[in-house]
Amino acid sequence: MSMDWNAHRREAHSLGRVQEFLRQIVYGGNDGIVTTFAIVAGFAGAAAEGVAQIGGLAVLVFGLANLFADGVSMGLGEFLSARSEHDLYFSRRAMEMREIVDNPEQEREELFTILCQRGLPPGEADAVTDILLRHPEMMADLMMTYEFGMQDPAEENPAINGLFTFSSFLVFGSVPLIPYFLMDPTETTFRWSLFATFAALTALGLLRGNATEEKVLRAVGETVLVGAVCAGVAFFVGWVVGG
């Protein structure tokens, strides 16, 4: 009974969903939290006598409009970005294959240099280069990685990437608005929104730390710090314009 070693390798080294789409989740979630809270903070900063002057309905209308409009924009942006990366990679790889066929000596020299730079002794690098020249597909893959710094995106799905970005933006970005759904628009409501925002940023940092296995303090600290800076800027601008 034969075994599909490629499938076995992918299964053995497969990532969890959070790890696989960590970039989309963190990118969409962080941007969703920050941009939605920026609406709330901007209104709060612009209110000369408190948030109640603005009205909770206005906060919700502008917040939800921003949430869905930016969420769709982020999702489609991720989709188009991933599609562009796919097209660029396969276009450049096809060019590399043509160069290997048309000018093998030059490509051999480039590969030999790369292998030496990666730490192989010249004798071994020379032998490996000769072997890879007989396998142009493998050689092209290696050149794409080490010469151009590009990874094969064949297993990525641009539509799924965009969907995860949009979903993360929507889920995390809705958190700063929750107090305005539940309470009258007062300064206390704004404080609850501020608390909810930092709770969401902390949760996102914990999610990032759990997926990457980096230090929790660093993962949470960086995530919260970025959000705090953006929220502070939004409140300050609202205060300057409204004052």
Tens-binned pLDDT, residue by residue, of the chain (243 aa):
444 444 444 443 444 566 677 778 888 888 888 888 888 877 776 654 444 455 667 778 888 888 898 889 888 988 998 888 888 888 888 998 888 888 888 888 888 888 888 888 888 888 988 888 888 888 888 888 888 888 777 777 888 888 999 999 999 989 999 988 888 777 788 889 889 988 988 888 888 777 777 788 888 888 888 878 877 777 777 667 655
- Planar angle of CA 33, 35, 40, nearest 5 degrees: 90
Where along the chain do its domains lie? 18-242
User: Does this model's pTM top 0.85?
Assistant: no
As a dihedral over the C-alpha atoms of residue 25, residue 28, residue 31, residue 34, rounded to 10 degrees, the angle is: -60
Q: Where are the alpha helices (DSSP H) in the chain?
A: 5-12, 17-20, 22-46, 56-102, 104-117, 122-133, 136-146, 158-173, 178-182, 187-212, 216-242
Distance CA 118, CA 241 (A): 56
Q: Could you tell me the CA-to-CA distances from 190 to 43, 52, 135, 202 in Å, in that order?
A: 10, 10, 63, 18
